[in-house]
């Protein structure tokens, strides 16, 4: 019996929500280990649609949800989300939701700084959601973060707020933005502390006990490898590491607990916001992919940029992310296309290259080298077995496996939870 870690292999929005929900029914505990409320999952359960940003998806299936120390927590956004799903019938209590007491908080000052800096970037904006995730991670690394455990110590909170405001108000004033007073932040924290503290605990210890008891743990990543702050398309990335290795440090478990790493990839590629996107399509095919795939960001509502499957990027994600197998989603969106292209390499300044460069200028200049395959006229939508797939769709999946050097272990053929083809059970590895 193995634990499973789920990560995105593109730029996020790969359909992790459905796959995590599908796997959560077979897990005991579901853990968020990085990111903030700048990422989201949409889960469809019967006639209910749940949109989650901070809450682990397992709560929808009645499992224990965990927010690890690697997550930056906006307490107001969290409570709003809890209230929303509670109104939909979910039970969220300190028994069903564990939050790491050493998780850093996102405060109103963080969002203000995030938005002010993005506005100041002008033409060089990076596409941040403006929700304060980056500045909150900066505070964590600079050792001035307010953590959940600080809320139980008023004397500690007092001097830490002084230190935090000395830094942030200086920056806000320099950017011509409104500054904050200590009383404003104290009032904000006083309002949310009674609701937040009961959920906090030593998550690392609880997870260790669960592991020793043989309980199945599903680690749920946010964003994706190409948004990783080290391995992604820097600086157009998120503010945390998104690779599977962070499941351990972001929740307080041993590296061996990560288990089977399942990478999620769309059968094509999308991206929200700014940054390089070699296979982006600006034609009718790109618009068709967006329309069929309902490509709008769960959190931002922004339309996603669409393009062909990039095997080069995903091969890199497989290697740096330690991916054991791929869950390929939205295959049905490609139904009916006459031809389908796969990026198998790049050209940079007239030279062929086989990997994606790290420098931003080079990333912007790379051109995709395509391999084109015939499409299929039959439908894959709703298929629940390999035998139901058109022959050409099977060839497409097999070619992807060859190019990314990893097996496709799950295949999703619609947003419905049960429209999933399982070739290999991640929990049984």
- Catalytic pick from 13, 21, 150, 419? 13
For residue 385, say whether it is annotated as part of any ligand binding site.
Answer: no
Domain that holds residue 156: 108-196
Tell me: is residue 298 an annotated ligand-binding position. Answer: yes
Active-site residue, 186 included = no
* DSSP at 347: E
331 known member of a binding site: yes
- Looking at the structure, tell me whether residues 392 and 409 fall in a common domain: yes
Give me the CATH number covering residue 135.
Answer: 1.10.300.10
Last residue of a domain, one of 156, 178, 196: 196
What six digits make up the tokens of 316?
């890199």
**Residue whose tokens read 């990893």:** 406
Are residues 385 and 338 located together in one domain of the fold? yes
What CATH number did the domain enclosing 298 receive?
3.90.170.10
Domain end among 146, 173, 196: 196
Same domain as 119, residue 177: yes
| 273 and 168 in a common domain | no
Query: Is 140 an annotated catalytic residue?
Result: yes
- The yes-or-no answer on residue 13 being catalytic is yes
Among 66, 104, 93, 100, which residue's Cα sits nearest to residue 202? 100
Based on the domain organization, do 331 and 385 belong to the same domain?
A: yes
- Residue 124 among known ligand-binding residues: no
Distant-in-sequence contacts of 351-354, Cβ < 8 A, 24+ apart: 354/312
Domain boundary among 196, 217, 250: 196
- Assess whether 75 and 114 both reside in one domain: no
Asked if 339 and 395 sit in the same domain, the reply is: yes
Name the domain count of the chain: 3
Token look-up 């931003």 returns 360
Residue among 107, 95, 92, 90 nearest 193 (CA): 107
Is residue 222 exposed (0-12), middle (13-18) or buried (19+ Cβ within 10 Å)?
A: buried
Considering the domain architecture, whether residues 144 and 67 belong to the same structural domain is answered as no
Strand (E) or helix (H) holding 266: strand 260-266
Residue 378 in marked binding region: no
- Helical (H) or strand (E) element with 130: none
CATH number where 203 lies: 3.40.440.10
Residue of 37, 41, 76, 110 with catalytic role: 41
Q: Are residues 296 and 416 in the same domain?
A: yes
* 175 known ligand binder: no
How does pLDDT run along the chain (429 residues), one tens digit per residue?
A: 589 999 999 998 898 888 888 898 889 999 999 999 876 777 777 777 888 889 998 888 889 999 999 999 999 999 999 999 999 989 899 999 999 999 999 999 999 999 999 888 887 887 778 899 999 999 999 999 999 999 999 999 999 999 999 999 999 999 999 999 999 999 999 999 999 999 999 999 999 999 999 999 999 998 999 999 999 999 999 999 999 999 999 999 999 999 999 999 999 999 988 899 999 999 999 999 999 998 886 666 778 999 999 999 999 999 999 999 999 999 999 999 999 999 999 999 999 998 999 999 999 999 999 999 999 999 999 999 999 999 999 999 999 999 999 999 999 999 887 899 999 889 886
Residue of 37, 140, 168, 231 marked active site:
140
């Amino acid at each position: 019996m193995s634990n499973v870690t789920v990560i995105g292999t593109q730029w996020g929005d790969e359909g992790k929500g459905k796959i995590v929900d599908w796997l959560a029914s077979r897990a005991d505990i579901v853990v968020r280990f990085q990111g903030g409320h700048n990422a989201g999952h949409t889960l469809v359960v019967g006639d209910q649609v749940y949109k989650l940003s901070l809450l682990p998806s397992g709560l929808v299936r009645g499992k224990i949800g965990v927010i690890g120390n690697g997550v930056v927590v906006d307490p107001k956004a969290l409570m709003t989300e809890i209230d929303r799903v509670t109104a939909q019938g979910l039970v969220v209590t300190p028994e069903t939701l564990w939050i790491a007491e050493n998780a850093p908080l996102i405060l109103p000052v963080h969002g203000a700084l995030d938005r002010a800096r993005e506005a100041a970037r002008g033409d060089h904006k990076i596409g941040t959601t403006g929700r304060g995730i980056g500045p909150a991670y900066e505070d964590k690394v600079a050792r001035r973060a307010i953590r959940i455990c600080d809320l139980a110590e008023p004397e500690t909170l007092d001097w830490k707020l002084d230190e935090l405001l000395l830094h942030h108000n200086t920056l806000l004033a320099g950017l011509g933005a409104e500054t904050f007073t200590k009383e404003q932040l104290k009032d904000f924290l006083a309002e949310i502390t009674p609701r937040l503290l009961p959920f906090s605990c030593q998550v690392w210890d609880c997870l260790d006990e669960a592991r020793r008891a043989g309980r199945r743990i599903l680690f749920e990543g946010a964003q994706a490898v190409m948004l990783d702050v080290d391995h992604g398309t820097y600086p157009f990335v998120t503010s945390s590491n998104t690779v599977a290795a962070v499941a351990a440090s972001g929740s307080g478990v041993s590296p061996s607990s990560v288990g089977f790493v399942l990478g999620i990839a769309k059968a094509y590629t999308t991206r929200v916001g700014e940054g390089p996107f070699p296979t982006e399509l600006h034609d009718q095919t790109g618009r068709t992919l967006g329309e069929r795939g309902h490509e709008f960001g769960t959190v931002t509502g922004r339309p996603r940029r669409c393009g062909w499957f990039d095997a080069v990027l995903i091969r890199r994600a497989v290697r740096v992310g330690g991916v054991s197998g791929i869950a390929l989603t939205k295959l049905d969106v490609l139904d009916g296309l006459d031809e389908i292209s796969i990026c198998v390499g790049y050209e940079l300044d007239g030279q062929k290259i086989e990997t994606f460069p790290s420098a931003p200028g080079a990333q912007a200049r790379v051109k995709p080298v395509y391999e084109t395959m015939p499409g299929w006229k039959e439908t894959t939508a709703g298929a629940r077995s390999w035998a139901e797939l058109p022959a050409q769709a099977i060839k497409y999946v097999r070619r992807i496996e060859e190019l990314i050097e990893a097996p496709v272990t799950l295949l999703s053929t619609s947003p419905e939870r049960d429209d999933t083809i399982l070739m290999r059970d991640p929990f049984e590895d």
